Amino acid sequence: MKNYLIKSRQGQFLVAGIIFATAGFFAGVTGNEFSRWLYYIAIFFLGFYASKKAVVETIKGRSPNVDLLMILAAIGAVIINFESEGAALLLIFASAEVLEDYATSKSTSAISELMAQVPETAQVLKADGEVVTIPTEELKIGDQVVVSKGEQVPIDGSVDRKVIINEAALTGEAIPVEKESGDEVFAGTLNEGNVFNLEVLKTSDQTVFSNIIRMVEEAQSRPSRISKFIDRIESKYVISVLVLVPVFIFFMYAVLSVPFEEAFYRGMVFLTVASPCALVASATPATLSAISNGAKNGILFKGGAAMEALSTMETLFTDKTGTLTYGEFKVDDYSLPEETLKEVIFMEQQSSHPIAQAIVSAFKEVDLSTVNQKEEVNEVAGSGIQKGQIRVGKPKAFSDFAHYEDFKQYFNKGNTIILVAEKDTVVGYFSLSDQLRLQAAEAVEQFQKEGIKVTLLTGDNEEVAEKVAKVVGVDRYIAAMLPEDKITYVKDSQNKEEVVGMIGDGINDAPALANADIGIAMGSGSSVAMESSDVVVVQNDLSRLFYSYKLSKRLNKIIFQNVVFSITVIVSLIILNLFGVLGLPLAVLLHEGSTILVILNGLRLIGSKPPKNKEVKPVQTVKA
């Protein structure tokens, strides 16, 4: 906070105002008439930003704001020779404004922390062998970048050899992963192996990290529902106060026969205590604090509304592959004619699906020179891919094909089964297995303890779905689903007036994520899934999602506390003023003090930390 006051212009004006107000107080105590001028100077510094905001926003938005009320109250205090009270009013108001601005800067520090994880420069290898250092934002697709041992990867790209990369910054997984030649690595991750060359695949504004930073920035510009409501009523409330103050003064003077000077004085007290400073500050600082906290702990919220809504979730649908499981398949078994196998490997090379990558990886030594690589590979929506007369996909898509029954014996062994057909005949299969994420079962259990119904929606077969559901402990599962089926389940629950959350990571999950009340994407998932969601689990740790659910509940609780407290203070002070027992100094102290308390209450969320993960026993490899 000290550094902020020194570096921020608004903070500097506050410090200057405090110095002159203090000098005015001591001069007044000693009976020095110069104290009045010291208070005037203090009022200038303390009221400068409030005056600027009051004039600019009132003209620009064609509606008055709370700053205007404070400036008018201070001017009124000066008119009736209460310069010290006017200075005190602006001192506390300016302190609250600086504190709120500080809360905003703390929340934006999450962006700075994220940006600090990506190098600002890169070592580019030129065609003549020279290595030059250039800013990361100047890198172009196709550039060759040298990444030394122990250095962070500056940009997303593909490696030229086998490397060891620590992806903890993105995935939260502490164990480094091996990458083969041609595999993609991401900006911000750490090279723990030998030096390698990287071919740039994306510009600096297209990387995974840049997308994360952009989402945090967008989140801070999207207010919560209660913030938008308060913003809507602020101008109407201010206009009401501006109308009521002269009416109040007239009533005191003409009806109750109070001397004009006292009536005007109490009118200034009314103007001060009726101002909705604390109410206006009830939601925004707290929401920004919660969003910042989430970002620091690996959960990105695309705005305050998403943060607020998470606590109201009643039903949670979750995808399986890449969500409850790692989505890192391996081929356990297969049966296929040799030439057909080559065709399938070539077809799967055109797909980024985890199953396709597993098949390609398992047969990377196979010679594909005899394959017709000019023939087009097409996606069969929701079920697989096709090249000429060869088709690869989920068993459900082949139920009418010849020899389908011959392969049903493999379906009930708990593996993911992929069938291959030529023309209208099934000719072979692949059997693949996956592994559960360690925190999946724990997170599901925690959500269910909170009364949230958790349902597994998967395109996999019944046997796989049943086994995963049993290991993870979900309430319910539905197998063999197409992307459109997931949307149906989401909408059916919404029709029952349930608040629905959906977790997914793939392109096929994007429609359901977009339709859910709270779409939740895994950070390792597709960019389409992240764009379609409201929340992104950056490090793929579902226990952090549950922490954010609890954080959302705390946020709503704090906002409720702030709103009730601020309204109570305003009403109480207005009543005390009506009975003439509230002086301007005490009114200033209580009213502006309540604003500071409200902001500090919201700032508590910045320092909140998730509980340490329990030691989770390794989960068995599920044939899923």
Q: Partners of 132 in the beta sheet? A: 124
Catalytic-residue membership of 460: no
Phi, psi (degrees; rounded to nearest 5) at 611:
-65, 150
85 neighbors 585 (Cβ within 8 angstroms): yes
Provide the 10 A C-beta neighbour count for residue 352. 10
Look up residue 350 and give its DSSP letter. T
Rounded Cα distance, 113 and 105, in Å? 12
CA angle 268, 274, 275 (to 5 degrees): 95
Nearest to 330 by CA among 622, 16, 9: 622
The CA R_g of the chain, rounded to the nearest whole Å, is: 32
Kindly report each contact of residues 140-145 with a partner whose C-beta sits within 8 Å and lies 24 or more positions away, as own/partner.
140/200, 140/203, 141/200, 141/201, 141/202, 141/203, 142/199, 142/200, 143/199, 143/200, 144/197, 144/198, 144/199, 144/200, 145/197, 145/198, 145/199, 145/200
Look up residue 140 and give its DSSP letter. -
Rounded Cα distance, 55 and 49, in Å? 10
Rounded Cα distance, 87 and 38, in Å? 10
Q: How far does Cα 378 stand from its chain's mean position?
A: 35
Catalytic residue among 143, 319, 434, 517: 319
Q: How far does Cα 388 stand from its chain's mean position?
A: 44
Burial class of residue 332 in the structure, from the number of CB atoms within 10 Å of its CB (0-12 exposed, 13-18 middle, 19+ buried): middle
Q: Under 8 Å CB-to-CB from 180, ≥6 apart: which residues?
A: 159, 162, 361
Which positions are annotated as active-site residues?
A: 319
